[in-house]
Amino acid sequence: MSQISVVLVSISSILSLLMIGFCLKFNAPRSLMSVFIVLFLSNIVFTGIPILDTVRGPLIMTILFIKGPVVWWLVRSHITGDRGFLPWPHIIPIVIALIWRLTASGDIVLIPVIAAPLWGLAYGIYAIRDFQANRALFIRGKAHIWFLLILIMAVWVGLWSMFNFLQAYLQYRILPDGVGMLIQAIIYSCVTLTFVWWALVTPDTYLQSSQSEQSTSPKPSDFDREVFSRLENIFGTEKPYLDATVNLETLAHQIAVTPRELSNAVNRCTNDGFRAFLRKKRVGHAQELLTNKTCQDLSIYDIAIASGFGTKSTFNESFKLYTGMPPSEFRRQFKEAT
């Protein structure tokens, strides 16, 4: 491994470790911390530090399996407001692949090894789909730029890993080892630096949803109450939250205040971030539709779109987050009660 590669991955490892501490200190969403944990392990593996081959192989495969899901979950948590780690069902295939890798022998052991980059690539593509369907939620603070860069890099890591496995399987080096490792080091460094830069430049992207948990947030001023009252009046008459493309900037312009003033007003008057407040309004509207007898013929997808959600999966996750059950179960229980 070249000296340049060692320097790049070493710096990336240190930055990843520092950002894990950043996430713990500021109570950032667990999805973000998961990304930095995976990046830290990735960089450590490729620094060339002594690791037994029996450990290095399974560790690399596990990292390649988990990269796509954690990036996808970072996008999902930004959309739904869920602050937890990756849901356990998404871990099951990784565990199965790891057991397979450790217990199988012969050519059959290559199946999970080949599946690892494909799995990560599939999640990366799915994350891009969710990002595109809910892009209005990412406009605030130019978060869409950073998310798009990270998603592109996540897909590129999957493609590059597939390329490396193909070289190893064919036992033919298209690129020399030194060049390949340098390109890989550059990729991991770019991913890490993008995350770190994004976290430092736009911390509200991560920390907005945790502001309600901070006891130091100031009490609402008269101006905050006036701004929030204007927002509530518009929500009550025009219901702009039913538009999936509505965002902080458009509503602030409609109320004739700055985005920061509107965000502060919502945070201080509701103890919720703007996105969480918007989602609660949409979930509340969906509950009205689900309990409206004239809307019983509407599908869950129709109700999701009518309530301002970009996709059915986003709606299901948000609805369950605030009500404790999926919308289909909520509708079923209502029918049984009536």
Q: What is the Cα 41 distance to its own chain's centre?
A: 19
What secondary structure does DSSP assign to 152-175, as a single string? HHHHHHHHHHHHHHHHHHHT--SS
> pLDDT tens across 270-323, in order?
888 888 888 899 999 999 999 988 888 889 999 999 999 888 888 888 898 888
User: What one-character-per-residue DSSP string does 257-285 give?
Assistant: S-HHHHHHHHHHHHSS-HHHHHHHHHHHH
The per-residue pLDDT for range 33-82, each reduced to its tens digit, is 888 888 888 777 765 555 555 677 788 788 888 888 988 888 887 776 66
Q: Is-above-0.75 flag for pTM?
A: no
Cα–Cα distance for residue pair 325/317, rounded to 1 Å:
9
